[in-house]
Chains A and B, each alone.
Chain A
């Protein structure tokens, strides 16, 4: 069964304290892996797509990386405005052309000044 697990469930950082969020996945084959940011009471906001192991994407203080079994979202020198829930989703090969994504439960990040 295709599965996505995110860790930790919650993370508290001081402003400027870099860290990483983990997304482990088990799928029959991977078409793509996506990272989203979700603020309370809002819909998820798309951040990155990764397609193959070794690929990296960056946006401001965020960098996403991908291996054959997991993805990391590295946050460098975070600011309080980076506080949000970060969701990881995979697009399995067997979902066909409908890109039915499988989401993890998310990591709640709180950055304190």
Chain B
């Protein structure tokens, strides 16, 4: 069966510090991968998606970037965090053309 991992689970970072969130998927190959941000009481905002190694598409201009160095690894980064980057970050995978499966999420607080 497939499993998706995210770490860290929670993170508190000062404004201006760098960020690296990691997501890995087990039990599948060549998945579509996604990063979302969820603000309190709001829907999920798609940030990035990837259909293969090194192939990243960005949905919204922002302070964040994403990379996919391996088939089942997806990384969300920032060089300098802003207060507005606080939120709940979710990684998801899909076999393509169907439902997405989500990881447990990372709660990021920028202080």
Chain A min CB distance to B44 (Å): 4
Interface pairs (5), CB distance under 8 Å: A43-B104, A44-B102, A97-B51, A98-B57, A103-B44
A interface, size bucket = 20 to 34
Residue of B nearest to A105 (CB): B43
B interface, size bucket = 20 to 34
CA of A45 to CA of B43 in the docked complex: distance in angstroms? 15
Chain B positions near chain A (C-beta within 8 angstroms) = 6, 32, 41-44, 46, 49, 51, 57, 59, 90, 92, 94, 96-105, 107
Which chain A positions have C-beta within 8 A of B32? Answer: 98-99
Chain A positions near chain B (C-beta within 8 angstroms) = 4, 31-32, 34, 36, 41-46, 49, 87, 89, 97-101, 103-106
Chain B min CB distance to A97 (Å): 6
CA of A100 to CA of B100 in the docked complex: distance in angstroms? 9
Would you call B51 and A87 a contact (CB within 8 A)?
A: no
Would you call A100 and B46 a contact (CB within 8 A)?
A: yes
Contact (A34, B99) CB under 8 Å given A41-B107, A42-B105, A43-B105: yes
